[in-house]
Structure formats: C-alpha cells, structure tokens
Structure 1
C-alpha cells in the first residue's frame, strides 16, 4: 500500500483531471464502478492520489471507450491487463459490432428500397402513359408463402400472418409486396383462389422460410388507381402481346409500388403488373 510519504510522486484528483482532460466527477464515478481507483487515500483529509501507472491507464480506458466498450466491460482492465485478456475483450467486441453492423445494413437497405419506391411512384405518376414495355429482371431470392386469396387487397398486403411468419423465422425482407397468381387469365376475371406473397430477402440464408427465385423477361405495365379497376391493364397487356407475337403466362405478378403501406387513398395506388412472356414461334 502506498504510504503518505510517497504521495509526492503521485497526482491529486485535480492534477489528473487537468492532465488527462477528464472531470473530477468522472474520476469519482470510475472509482465507484471499479474502473480506476486511487492508489492512496489520505486518512486525514480523504484526499485521493493516483500513481503515474494508474494515470497512464486512463489512456487505455479512453481508447476502450472510443472502440465502443461500455463501462461495465472495462472493469479489471488494469488488474488483468494481459495479451489474452485484451484478445478476448476485442474478439467479443468485434463480434458484437459485426452484429450491429448487420442490423444497420438491414435497416439501410430497407429504408433505401422504400425511398426508391416513393421515387418510382412519383416518376410513374408524373409520366404515366399506360404503355406496355418489356422488362428484364435478374433472378433474385424472395421469401414466399402461399395463402388463400379473396380479393381483399388490404388483407393480402398488410399481411399479419406473413409478418409473423417472417419474424418467427428471423427473416429480414425489403422492397414492395409482390403477389404471384397462378393464372394471368383468372386473376383479372376474379376467379383466382390462391396467391403467393413474395418479398425480397435481405440475407438469403437457409431457414424454415420458403424461397423462390424471381426474375426473367416480362411484359410490364403500371396501373395507377384502385385495385378493383386493374383488369383493364391486364387487357392492355393481352392486346399488346397478340399484336407483337408474344405468348404470356401462365402466371402473373402484381408488384405494389404504392399501396396501403403508404396511403389510404386508393386513387394514388401504383401497381406494376408483370407477366412472363416469350416470342411466339408463329
């Protein structure tokens, strides 16, 4: 134990505060939490003194704090300061930050995709001409789940069982809801009984959630307005395909760019209809 005669080689709280740019209040808190304690406390006046070695350890504490360590993770740094102790601490913190990096990455992708959807909807609304175009989509993995379909679009898009299914299987999704229907003829005729809900997987990994690769060459048309009027857009694709010698289907997809997630005004809805096509041999 340091004696009072040795305090000349030590530093008072005020000196440590000035040298290390750390408040006296923080020093007292570090002492209470067992992070850094004074080497000597005067029995006469309760003054606290720190040795040069302890003073130097404040630099280590600051560096640990800069790297994201919590105070509770800094305890015993001085008493267990060794290569293996630091290695274990750093490995644990690296793994924690990597997990946090992934969470931030997921959120950034999801927010960016939603922002892009709003921009896409704005462009479609400003330049809308209900023309059919050919679109190529690269194959990408989508989470999917087949459900009964009753032409209740709100129930299918704001799909609580779907959200619960994804949460239960720790799946992050992004982008618009897409519904796949078995027949591009039955869907506008309102005779479809099932639909596969699809959303792009942020991290396509093995899990209990079913996956489907979605991509290929499609006839594409944007429908602006209420879902109950969407049959007219299907008719335009069918007419365009016949005029340009394309075979459609058999399935079709509805990609909801603007829907109940964004607005309750059905006249503002923007839906992209995608029907697989191939050139007729005739």
Structure 2
C-alpha cells in the first residue's frame, strides 16, 4: 500500500487534488485508517491514476473522465475510442485556428513594421450595391450561442438537406444563415438556417428580395466581423440604412476546402436610402 503522499509523489498529483477526486467519486483511497484518517492507495490504482492524468492532458473534463472510467463490458473500448476520436477532432480544429491566428499575427507584425495600420485590410474590403430576387426558403430558426452556432451549421443544415432529399424538393441555391437578433447576446441569438427550394411546403417561407449592400469574404469565418464592420461603414457613408436582418450565403462547403483561404462567403445587408 502507498500513503497518500507517496501516491501523490509518484503520480505528480497534489494530495489536495486527490482528496477532491475522492469527494467527486473519481478515485477513492483503497483504505482509510479509521483511527487517524490516513489514506492509502494500492499499487493497482497507479494505473487508474495515470489514465486519469492522460485523459486530463487531452482536455477531457473530470465529469467526462468519470463517465469513461465507469464504462464496463464489451462496449467500453468502443466508447472510449469514440470519445478519443471526438476529442482529437476538437484539438485539431483548435490547432487549425491557432495556425491561422499565428499567420495573422505574423502579417500584422510585418504591416506595422512597414508603417501600415494594423486594420488596413478593412479599406480593401469591396462593397457593392445589388438587387436580390425573392426566394422561397426551407428554414429552421433557433436561439443559439456562438459555440452552438459552430456546431450547429452541420447539424441544422444536415437536417434541412435530409428533408429536401426525403420530400424530393428542388434545390435552388446555396445554404444561408440569417441573423435576426438586434444585438449580440453570449447566451443565445436568434438564428435562422435556410436553403432555397422550389416547392412551397410546410417549413418554407418567402424571403423578400430588394436592394442590398454586398461583400464577399474569401477566407476564414473569423474574418466575417471585419466584413460586417466594413459594410456598416459603407452603408453609413453612402447614406443608406439597414432595413432587414443581414444574412450570409455559403458559396463554398468548408469541408471541401483545402484550407480556410479557399472558403467563400457572401454577406448581404438589405438597405434603403435614408
């Protein structure tokens, strides 16, 4: 048997953390001396503690780790493999985002060294005035946070495409997201996912056409805020005002793009003269 101190030293986990793990049921001492309350761990528990440390290093929460440790039977390895695969994708997505951020920082450093404003790219974003046509859209509307939105693209568009296939509807355009909230709320925003279709069935509505200020982003979705800022600046300078909810049209499927620079997104702000 190992004292809590010995166990702590071998596994590089503080005794305070081990006591907390005991409280939440993650790993209990194998034995507690009833007279003095000293905690002891068995040699076989070293492997369990090392597994907990390994899963923590993969950024699993303690709740997730506890659930995985409680798995038993033939499906335990399958579920563990599935959880590890999901976590690997999450980490890969974060790495991709960090790589993009590093490239952006490097570009900003070069521009600042050349005496250029760090946001000089805003002036290079082109805006044009276009007349859009009315379209019938198949839609679903949800209150979604930013994190939900990232995960929701595939989920909600997937359901819409499934309905199109099942009901044999005629696809007329690219998927779009319409943002109805008047202000940003971290807890959730009124978001509509839509796909243009030919048939008027349950779950469709008319999306009116009209005059729009339009810009096109070729690059990562994280740059869309710059496009929105440039559009609002152009609208103000040109004497227009926004009359309906802005929306994005996804020309490129991100899963088909080799890198974020290949993603093309159109942004529309319905406007009219003041």
Could you tell me the TM-score, scaled by structure 1's length? 0.47
Could you tell me the TM-score, scaled by structure 2's length? 0.48
Greater radius of gyration (CA): 1
Greater helix percent: which structure? 2
